[in-house]
Structure 1
Amino acid sequence: MKKIFSMLLVSALGGIFTLSAYKIFIENNHAELVTTTDTEAVSIPTTPVNNMGNYKAYEAPDFSVAAENTVNAVVHVKNVTLSSGQMTFQDFFYGRSPQRAQVGTGSGVIINTDGYIITNNHVIKNAQELSVTLNNNKTYTAQLIGADSKNDIALLKIDADEALPFVTFADSDNVKVGEWVLAVGNPFNLTSTVTAGIISAKSRDLSGTSSQSFLQTDAAVNPGNSGGALVNTKGELVGINTAISSQTGSYIGYSFAVPSNIARKVIEDILEYGNVQTGILGIQGGALNSSVAEKIGIDDTEGVYIDSVVEGSGADKAGLKNGDIIKEIDQIKVSKFSDLTGHLSAKRPGDVVNLTLLRAGALKSVNVTLAKNNTFNMPLVGRIKNTTKNDLKKLKASNGVKIVQLNGEYEQYWKNNGILEGSIITSINDVKVNTVDDVQNILKERSTYEPIRLELINTNGQRERFNFR
C-alpha cells in the first residue's frame, strides 16, 4: 500500500515540475514570435446580382404572362386525308378502289385578327378537309391559302365570328443562345400545353445539305406540337415548332423551330405573290473547318468559302471571286453555311445584303443585290440556268435553258455523247422550254413512270435527242 502511495506522490510532483518549467521558459518566448503585418485585400471578380438579367438570384423567371397571351392564339389543327384501304373480294370483282379517312392533328398560330393561321406544311399535306379548334373550344373550317414544302410552312384562314387573339412576330435574328423560350401547342391532343426551355443553338441544319436553319431548343416538343408557337418571355413569336430529334419519335431533349423571320417572309410572299420568292447570291462553296482549310491551303476555319461564282448573278456583278471567304452577312457572323442560307431565306430578289469578305488576308465590305433563282439542279442532267440572248445566238437556238454544270454521276455519259457544259436543252417531253420555271413545271406534272425525252443543241450547234426510262 505504501509503495503505491509513494508512486502517486512522485507522479504528482513530476507534473507540477513540468508545468512550472513550461510557464517559465517556453510560454513567454513563444509569445514573442507572434508578429502582425499589414496586407492588402485580394479582390476576386464577381458578377453583380443586378447584372444577371431581370431576375434576382433567389427568383425563377415568371412565364405566366407570356403563357396566358400565347395559349389563346395557338389552335388545334385537324386534317382529314384519304388513303387506300384493304381491298376485299367484292372490291376486286366490281373494280372498286376502297379508301378510308385518316385524321391527323397538329398546332397552328393565329397571326392577325383576320383569321390567318400559320402552321407546318407537313401538318396539312394532302388534306381533304381542314378544321381549326380555338382555345375556347370553338371549331371552324379552315381554308389553305398556300404552302412552302422547302421551309415547311403553310398558311390557313378561318372566318371567325369574333375578334381573334393573335401573336406578334419577334426578330429571330436577335434571339440569343441561352435565352428562355416557351413552346405552346397540342402534343398528343393535349390542348394548350406549355413547356419551357432555352435556345440551345441557332442555324441548325438537319438535312446535311445546309438547306435548313432551325432554332434548337430543349423545351419539350412532341407529336402534335408541330406548327405551334415558340415564344420569348414577352410572348412574341420567335419560331414555329417543326421537328424533334429522337430515336423513339417522342421528345428526348432536342426540338427545332423555323425562325420567325423565315416564317414571316414565307407567308408574306404567299399573300403577295402566291408563291415563295427566293433571292440568291449566286455562289457555290462550303463551310470551312480544319480539314477543308488544310486542303485549300488557308488558316481560317470559320466562314463560307466561295468555290465558284454563277455568271451574271448578283455575286458576279458585285465582284465576288473564287477563294473569297464570307465572314459576315448584314453584320451577323457566318461560321457555317446554314448561317448564310438561314439569313438569305428571309430575303427576296432585289434585296441588298452587305457581306464582309476575307480576300488575300484583308477584310472587304461588299453590297450584293440578290437575284431571282434562275438555276435548277435537273435530275440526270445537272445544274441548268436561264439563257441569255448571247447564249442562244451563239448556238443559233430560238429557245432553251443552258447546262452550266453536268451531273457528276452521269457526266461521263454526257461527254461520251458529245454533250458538254454550255449545251442548251430546247424541249422536254416534246414541250418547248424557255426558262428554268418551265423545266420545273414539266417535271412536276410528269408521272413517276413516264419516260423523259430531251432535245438538246450541243456546243457544236448540232441537235441531239435522248430518251430516259
Structure 2
Amino acid sequence: MTRGAGERGGRSLGSGFVIDASGLIVTNNHVIEGAKEIYVALQNGRRLKATVAGRDAKTDIALLRVQPKKPLTALAFGNSDEAKAGDWVLAIGNPFGLGGSVSAGIISARNRQLDAELYDDFIQTDAAINPGNSGGPLFDMDGKVVGVNSAMLSPSGGSIGIGFAIPSNTVATIVAQLKAHGRVERGWIGANVEDLDDERPGARVGHVTPAGPAAVAGLKARDVVVRIDGTAVKDSRMMQKLVVEATAGQTLRFELTRAGRPVSAAVRVARRAR
C-alpha cells in the first residue's frame, strides 16, 4: 500500500488486507493519515486507487475501498479472545516496501498497553514486524486473522521480536461501525471513575454529570461498580472500555456497592460527543 505525497511530500508504505470481495480493505489509520492519494498494490501486481470508507484514530483502524474489475479474495476474522500466549502465528506484510513477506512466531502476551491509552489492548508477538508491516494481518494456524499488525518496540528501527497487533475482535467491531457510519460512535454515561485504593477489583465513581445518564439512573459519587451486564469490572479502565463500546440507546445493568450495600441501576447509554 502506498500513500501519495502529502503537504510535506514523500510517501508512506504500509500493508492491508481485503475483508470483502467487493473491495473493502483494512489497514492502520497511521498508514494513511494525511494522505492526498492512496494506492493499493494487489498480490497479482495490479495497482488500484483507494478511497477512505472510514477511519478511527483512537484504535488506529482505517477502512479503504477499491473498485476491482473482479471480486477479490477476502480474509476472515478469527476469534482473538481465544488466542493465548504460546500460540503460533504468521505475520504478513510489506516490510521496508519489499513486497509480500511472511514471518512466523508465537503470541508472547495478551492485553499489552503501550501508552496507557483506554483503547490500548494489544497482542504481543515475536513474529518479525518491521516498518511497512503496519496494517497487515496476523494469522492463526487456521488461516484466520486474529490481529492487525500495528507497532513494534525497537532501539534500532528493525524488529527485535517485540511486535504488537490489534486484536481481531476489536477490529471487527470497529470495522462494522465504519462500514455502517464511516466513523465510530462511542457510548457515554457522564461519570468519571477511578481505581480503588487497595487491590480489590472494581471502579469507584467520582464526579457524576448532573442530568447525565448515570445521574438519571441514580449513580452517586463513591459508588463502587463491580459488574456491568454480568461482566466483572476489574478496574476503572475496564469499566470505561465497557461503556465506550456500548451503543447509544443501549441499557447497561450496573451492579454496585454503596456504603457496603449492594445496589443495582439500569443506565441508558448516550452517544459520546465527537
Q: TM-score, normalization: structure 1?
A: 0.52
Mapped pair 1:371 → 2:270? yes
Query: 1 CA distance for matches of 2:140 and 2:227?
Result: 26
SS of match in other structure, 1:161: coil
> RMSD between aligned alpha carbons?
2.7
Query: 1 CA distance for matches of 2:115 and 2:249?
Result: 28
SS of match in other structure, 1:164: coil
SS of match in other structure, 1:316: helix
Greater helix share, structure number: 1
Q: CA deviation at 1:345?
A: 4.5
Query: 2 CA distance for matches of 1:357 and 1:338?
Result: 16
1:172-221 deviation digits (Å, cap 9, x = unpaired): 4444455443322222224132322115021x332234343333333332
What residue number does 2:139 align with? 231
Query: 2 CA distance for matches of 1:367 and 1:178?
Result: 40
SS of match in other structure, 2:170: helix
- Write the mapping of 1:302-317 to structure 2, written as runs, cut at 5 A: 302-317=201-216
Change (3 A) 1:137 1:340: farther
Query: 1 CA distance for matches of 2:145 and 2:4?
Result: 28
Q: CA deviation at 1:105?
A: 0.6
Q: Partner amino acid for 2:64?
A: L
Instruction: Give % identity.
Output: 36
Greater strand share, structure number: 2
Change (3 A) 1:216 1:336: farther
Mapped pair 1:200 → 2:86? no
Change (3 A) 1:218 1:301: farther
What residue number does 1:80 align with? 4
Change (3 A) 1:109 1:344: farther
Change (3 A) 1:332 1:214: farther
Query: Which of the pair has the greater relative contact order for Cα pairs under 8 Å at 6+ separation?
Result: 2
Q: CA deviation at 1:132?
A: 1.0
Query: 2 CA distance for matches of 1:113 and 1:107?
Result: 17
SS of match in other structure, 2:34: coil
- Write the mapping of 1:10-89 to structure 2, written as runs, cut at 5 A: 77-84=1-8
SS of match in other structure, 1:208: coil
Structure 1: 5+ residue stretches without partners: 1-76, 85-100, 294-299, 375-436, 438-469
Query: 1 CA distance for matches of 2:139 and 2:232?
Result: 24
Q: CA deviation at 1:115?
A: 0.7
Query: 2 CA distance for matches of 1:331 and 1:180?
Result: 32
Q: Partner amino acid for 1:78?
A: T
Q: CA deviation at 1:370?
A: 1.7
What residue number does 1:142 align with? 50
Q: CA deviation at 1:240?
A: 1.7
What residue number does 1:409 align with? none
Mapped pair 1:325 → 2:234? no
Q: Is the 8 A contact 1:115 1:157 kept in 2?
A: yes
Match of 2:39 among 124, 131, 147: 131
Q: CA deviation at 1:114?
A: 0.9
Q: Partner amino acid for 2:91?
A: A
Q: Is the 8 A contact 2:255 2:263 kept in 1?
A: yes
Q: CA deviation at 1:126?
A: 1.4
Change (3 A) 1:330 1:163: same
- Write the mapping of 1:115-126 to structure 2, written as runs, cut at 5 A: 115-126=23-34
- Of stretches 117-126 and 225-234 in structure 1, the one that deviates more from structure 2 is 225-234
Q: Partner amino acid for 2:104?
A: T
SS of match in other structure, 2:6: strand
Query: 1 CA distance for matches of 2:153 and 2:236?
Result: 21
Count of aligned residue pairs for this structure pair:
273
Q: CA deviation at 1:367?
A: 4.1
Q: Partner amino acid for 1:261?
A: N
Q: Partner amino acid for 2:62?
A: A
Q: CA deviation at 1:78?
A: 0.9
1:52-77 deviation digits (Å, cap 9, x = unpaired): xxxxxxxxxxxxxxxxxxxxxxxxx1
Q: Partner amino acid for 1:257?
A: A
Change (3 A) 1:209 1:106: closer
Q: Is the 8 A contact 2:92 2:138 kept in 1?
A: yes
Select the structure of larger CA radius of gyration: 1
What residue number does 2:160 align with? 252
SS of match in other structure, 1:81: coil
What residue number does 2:246 align with? 347
Q: Is the 8 A contact 1:265 1:347 kept in 2?
A: no
Q: CA deviation at 1:252?
A: 2.8
Q: Is the 8 A contact 1:199 1:218 kept in 2?
A: yes
Query: 2 CA distance for matches of 1:167 and 1:359?
Result: 48
Q: CA deviation at 1:354?
A: 4.1
Q: CA deviation at 1:113?
A: 0.9
Q: CA deviation at 1:268?
A: 2.6
Change (3 A) 1:165 1:139: same
Match of 2:94 among 186, 205, 210: 186
Query: 2 CA distance for matches of 1:147 and 1:205?
Result: 21
Q: TM-score, normalization: structure 2?
A: 0.85
